[in-house]
Structure 1
Amino acid sequence: MTMKRLGRLTGVALLGALALTACGSDDNTTAGSGSSSSSSSDCSGTLNAEGSSAQKNAIEEVISSFSDTCADATVNYNPTGSGAGVKQFTGGQVDFAGSDSALKADAGEVDAAAKRCAGNPAWNLPMVAGPIAVSYNVPGVDAVTLTPSVIAQIFTGKVKTWNDPAIAKLNGDAKLPSTAIKVFYRSDESGTTENFEKYLAGAAPSDWTIEPGKAFGGGVGEGREKSAGVSDAVKSTEGAITYVEWSYAKDNKLGVAKVDNGGGAVELTGETAGKAVTAAKPDGEGNDLRLKLDYTTKDAGTYPIVLVTYEIVCSKGLDPAKTSLEKAFLKHFASSDVQSGLEELGYAPLPAEVQTKVNTAIDAIS
């Protein structure tokens, strides 16, 4: 399915709130919603990128549609996970990285990226957004409600069966089986893992006392590589549970738990997840568009577990032969026509205001 066939879609844009909260730009260039057209000089050559598997389905569609407008350009994306993508980028092995977590100064990633960019800062550009689903496979159970406390206890091994009193209390008359809970987690370094653990640490600090990180810290369960790995494992294992991007849960027809953060049980939809982003705070400067999400929100009707995938790029210092092609691809990615096709895949289109900020940053790459 190409982006052309996806077409323009209507619906709630998950990142609508970013228009109010994303960082401003130090660049004075006026940018519009972005154009996917490119000059012939921008449409040849090869870009190599690596990282987030959360955005795999989205970026593959974008690459496909970009090839329709730039037939002489090749964009390769390897969905090895956010941690691997950042390492490959800072090591100079790829032209840009996809990461579900912005570069961290305390982990040395900001300095390493600047060194890779010939002494210039790297920028985190929000390009894809989507909620993290708590996905399960329990035959005969069509709906489950979980709280952050219970989710934390499941992923640390304290709640071991589906009819545990902690789960039963939240689900009324539901006929929950005594099936053992089988936890699957990401075995590779993953921004999805880090965002999921940030949620648990923020919303259930008494039950999740582990420092959030790209490596799963729950201490129980079985690891699988990448988003496809954990979703495939849950699909084939009765009693299984994992955390995975909504697009993968939809593709594999997995059960998706409702989450009660304190304001009532909330079903995962584009609209309910979009409300969580209203609490996002700017966490970068200028064209570095990092965001800080509030995972502790208790607003009614708000699905609280959301991630943003960034494309991590050099502001300057990339091989000049690749800079124009990279800018053309990113412009295409951020354009209205392309973004509108992402919702059907389980992602969300950037609203016009955010497209403007992203395009301003892309224009400033040199």
Structure 2
Amino acid sequence: MGTMTLAACGSDDNSASSGIDAANSDATCEGKPNLSGAGSSAQKNAMDQFVATYIAVCQQQGKTVNVAYNPTGSGDGRTQFVASQVDFAGSDSAIKDEQAEEAKNRCVGGEAWNLPLVFGPVALAFNLEGVDDLVLDADTTAKIFNGQITEWNDPAIAALNEGVSLPAERITPIVRSDSSGTTDNFQKYLETAAPESWTSGAGSDFTGGVGEGAKGSAGVAQAVAGGPNSITYVEESFAKQNDLTIAKLDNGNGPVELNETTTGKAIEEAAFVGDGGPGDLTLDLSSIYGNTSAEAYPLMLATYEIVCSAGYDADTSAAVKSFLTSAANEGQEGLAEQGYAPLPDSMREKITASVAAIA
């Protein structure tokens, strides 16, 4: 997945969080002063905010802390976590199967828990002269990206955009040329919401067979910005940075605009693979991708913090719990401005309860 590149380690710059009132934080700032994490680059900007906020909270308590997070990629983050090289991992997908079994040794009999702390909406961003309000659905999107729909004035698109003058121009899909969690989530959405039209599968590499490739989220966004009649899938923040227009998604009950309210609704209505905690909170992603509510934006990317349920030494456990408590609460303030979807109360409470249950 693409990332907005920042420093590779936790930052001491807490100016953005100088207004934090430590009296309203449940973070104890106890345990070892320096935590380490590695993994998902998609959550790096959110992690920088979490760290800055946590530093500010603890400074007001008279304590000096830091969290060094290295955005080395989800797979590497999970590997480092299992090998006890970092205290927690960030990952675009839940730790599972053999790797989850290996984590039991690292967690000294405990289990690895997946806590979905950072959500990012994926935009369908386009460049179409004279059109600034476009509606698509999963079926038309699948057909655009697998080559079944090739013209902007195709009847299927026109049916979703009554009264809009669609040009008789050839569509240029722009896709990721590199392996990407964004691509994987986009294709999983199409698999779930348009299974009859998207039959080429999912995965980190694009499988649709059509389109021009560009590297990274910045690359596809810039390609659309400079390419008339083009469309791509990209994290909201990159669409905004490049002043791209974002399509609304029709889930079957009317067009849904991408905004903080509709992304929050999608997160709020997400289901879990298990019982929803306290404990592991691995998401059933089909409950997001397949959401048909007119109030929920379904094209979302979830990234996890992977932690031990037990097995940390006392100082590490206290620090992990303190930091993640802060991140799930006051750390969420202002995330929407960075293109993330802040946690709604229901998800925040589940994550906070799971963090508290770490032994």
| TM-score, normalised by the number of residues in structure 1 | 0.78
Within 5 Å, give how 1:92-107 maps onto structure 2: 92-105=84-97
Unaligned stretches of 5+ residues in structure 1: 9-32
SS at match of 2:149: coil
1:6-57 CA deviation, whole Å, 9 max, x = no partner? Answer: 979xxxxxxxxxxxxxxxxxxxxxxxx9623514x44x2241322141x232
> How far off is 1:204 after superposition?
0.6
1:38 equivalenced with 2:29 (yes/no):
yes
1:75 equivalenced with 2:75 (yes/no):
no
Q: Is the 8 A contact 1:50 1:94 kept in 2?
A: no
SS at match of 2:122: strand
For residue 51 of structure 1, the aligned residue among 29, 32, 40 is 40
> How far off is 1:144 after superposition?
1.5
> What is the rounded CA distance, in whole Å, between the counterparts of 2:132 and 2:222 in structure 1?
19
SS at match of 1:300: coil
The change in CA–CA distance for 1:220 and 1:317 in structure 2 (over 3 A counts) is farther
For residue 331 of structure 2, the aligned residue among 328, 332, 338 is 338
> What is the rounded CA distance, in whole Å, between the counterparts of 1:267 and 1:349 in structure 2?
16
1:66-101 CA deviation, whole Å, 9 max, x = no partner? Answer: 233457433233334434433443454433222233
For residue 276 of structure 1, the aligned residue among 261, 266, 270 is 266
1:188 equivalenced with 2:179 (yes/no):
yes
- Which amino acid in 2 is paired with 1:206? E
> How far off is 1:256 after superposition?
0.8
- Which amino acid in 1 is paired with 2:293? D
Q: Is the 8 A contact 1:124 1:312 kept in 2?
A: yes
> How far off is 1:339 after superposition?
1.8
The change in CA–CA distance for 1:362 and 1:302 in structure 2 (over 3 A counts) is closer
Of all paired residues, the percent bearing the same amino acid is 44
- Which amino acid in 2 is paired with 1:187? D
- Which amino acid in 2 is paired with 1:276? A
> How far off is 1:200 after superposition?
0.9
The change in CA–CA distance for 1:205 and 1:66 in structure 2 (over 3 A counts) is same
> What is the rounded CA distance, in whole Å, between the counterparts of 1:225 and 1:74 in structure 2?
33
Q: RMSD over aligned Cα, in angstroms? A: 3.1
> How far off is 1:60 after superposition?
1.6
The change in CA–CA distance for 1:226 and 1:3 in structure 2 (over 3 A counts) is farther
> How far off is 1:268 after superposition?
1.6
1:171-199 CA deviation, whole Å, 9 max, x = no partner? Answer: 23324351441322262341x33332222
1:96-131 CA deviation, whole Å, 9 max, x = no partner? Answer: 2222332333xx332243344344311011212232
Aligned to 1:30: none
> What is the rounded CA distance, in whole Å, between the counterparts of 2:211 and 2:313 in structure 1?
43
Q: Is the 8 A contact 2:113 2:281 kept in 1?
A: yes
The change in CA–CA distance for 1:351 and 1:3 in structure 2 (over 3 A counts) is farther
Q: Is the 8 A contact 1:51 1:86 kept in 2?
A: no
Q: Is the 8 A contact 2:75 2:91 kept in 1?
A: yes
1:152 equivalenced with 2:146 (yes/no):
no
The change in CA–CA distance for 1:61 and 1:230 in structure 2 (over 3 A counts) is farther
SS at match of 2:234: strand
> What is the rounded CA distance, in whole Å, between the counterparts of 1:240 and 1:124 in structure 2?
37
> How far off is 1:225 after superposition?
5.0
The change in CA–CA distance for 1:279 and 1:36 in structure 2 (over 3 A counts) is closer
Relative contact order: is structure 1 or structure 2 higher (C-alpha 8 Å, sep ≥ 6)?
1
Within 5 Å, give how 1:160-239 maps onto structure 2: 160-172=150-162, 173-176=164-167, 178-185=169-176, 187-190=178-181, 192-224=182-214, 226-239=216-229
> What is the rounded CA distance, in whole Å, between the counterparts of 1:219 and 1:116 in structure 2?
41
1:307 equivalenced with 2:301 (yes/no):
yes
> What is the rounded CA distance, in whole Å, between the counterparts of 1:79 and 1:225 in structure 2?
18
The change in CA–CA distance for 1:352 and 1:278 in structure 2 (over 3 A counts) is closer
1:248-303 CA deviation, whole Å, 9 max, x = no partner? Answer: 32233221111112112222222233333454222125400122242233333432
The change in CA–CA distance for 1:112 and 1:199 in structure 2 (over 3 A counts) is same
> How far off is 1:243 after superposition?
1.9
1:65 equivalenced with 2:53 (yes/no):
yes
The change in CA–CA distance for 1:187 and 1:115 in structure 2 (over 3 A counts) is farther
Q: Is the 8 A contact 1:181 1:239 kept in 2?
A: yes
The change in CA–CA distance for 1:304 and 1:219 in structure 2 (over 3 A counts) is same
| TM-score, normalised by the number of residues in structure 2 | 0.80
> What is the rounded CA distance, in whole Å, between the counterparts of 1:6 and 1:166 in structure 2?
50
1:182-225 CA deviation, whole Å, 9 max, x = no partner? Answer: 322262341x3333222211111111113333333223335555
